[in-house]
Amino acid sequence: MAGRKEIADKAGVSKTTVTRVLAGNASVSAKTHEKVMQVINELGYVYNEVAAGLAKRKCTAVIALLVPDMTNYYYLQMFNAMSRYAHECGYIISVFAINNDNMYEVLDNVIANRVVCIINMGLTPISEEYVRKIKNANISVIHPGTGEDAIEYVYDYGVVNEIIEKAVVSGAKRFCFLFCMPERLNHDQRLRTVLQSLEAHNAEKVDVVYGDVPEISAISAGYKHTKALIENGEKYDVLFCLNDMLAIGAMRALKEAGLRIPQDVSVIGHDNILLGEFESPSLTTIDTNIEYEAQVYIDFVAGRLQEKKIVNKCHMVVRESAKFGK
């Protein structure tokens, strides 16, 4: 591929002039600019924006999105939404699959490549030591839902009380939260909110099922653990799920066992992914507004976000998988 020296030689200008043209420097005359651009087009030169970003900003135009499970449709939707907004601002989204074994190896990699921001949607928080290392490299870091980093992005789960109240009014007494992650992660805001609400409503039976996500996919875990509950003779009126993929797996196990949804058990997901709408029965879920969340992150990176604290008010999407009283 042609380089800047070849362009300069053919256009009869200096290499510095070529660099100025590529950078959009106004000091280059219109005539020279046109001549250089003509040669660039003839030679098929491709401008390396990443290298240019490193030269000007000491960081790339890449945003690192850390996710635990690319089979979870939620992360695909988030990536798609972020990519659209990022493109408008001249950024690129790079996705990294992380787990307990490779997290810090991945972080070393993204730090070395001087990304502009790290958004950790993984299930494990980044240690304080590595947060300092990231910030020392002039890289922003966001842990959505914690409110502890560059921006305070938190979820308003007031809708959970609304859901549980509707379920109780409908006669529900036995509840299970399909968490399916290790018990050490029981600080999760969704789990805490559901348990607090169930306690406030004096639920007769409340169980939490821990598990092995992301070592296995969420949809597989939902199926596996729900099947185990059924085989153990457990019976619930409402099955809450940490995310929609767990709920979809759970519904498969319930239907295989001959249980009717929602007549025998209501199933409620979280995320409002596209797949849930097309399940049979369609999935009742909590919508966290993926589009809005994606735009907030890109606005922050692009310096267009005015607020320090962002509160995302979640809302309920009632479909066929849950029965509620009037």
Q: Torsion angle of alpha carbons 255, 261, 263, 267, nearest 10°?
A: 130
| Alpha helix (H) residue ranges in the chain | 4-11, 15-23, 30-43, 49-57, 73-89, 103-112, 128-136, 158-169, 189-200, 218-231, 244-256, 274-277, 290-301
Q: Which CATH number fits domain 157-288: 3.40.50.720, 3.40.50.300, 3.40.50.2300, 3.90.1010.10?
A: 3.40.50.2300
What average pLDDT does this structure show over 248-271?
97
Token couple for 136: 């020392």
Q: pLDDT higher for 214 or 271?
A: 271
**pLDDT for res 150:** 66
Q: Which two tokens stand for residue 137?
A: 């490299």
Percent of the chain at pLDDT > 70 equals 91
Q: Kind of pairing, strands 140-142 and 152-156?
A: unpaired
pLDDT number for residue 24: 67
Taking the model in full, what pTM does it have? 0.79
Q: Name the segment(s) of the chain with CATH classification 1.10.260.40.
A: 4-47
Where do we find the tokens 């979640």? 314
The structure tokens listed for 324 are 């509620």
Determine whether domain 4-47 maps to CATH 1.10.260.40: yes
pLDDT in tens, 190-241: 899 999 999 999 999 999 999 999 889 999 999 999 999 999 999 999 999 9
CATH of domain 56-155+291-313: 3.40.50.2300
Please list the residue range(s) of the chain that carry CATH number 3.40.50.2300.
56-155+291-313, 157-288
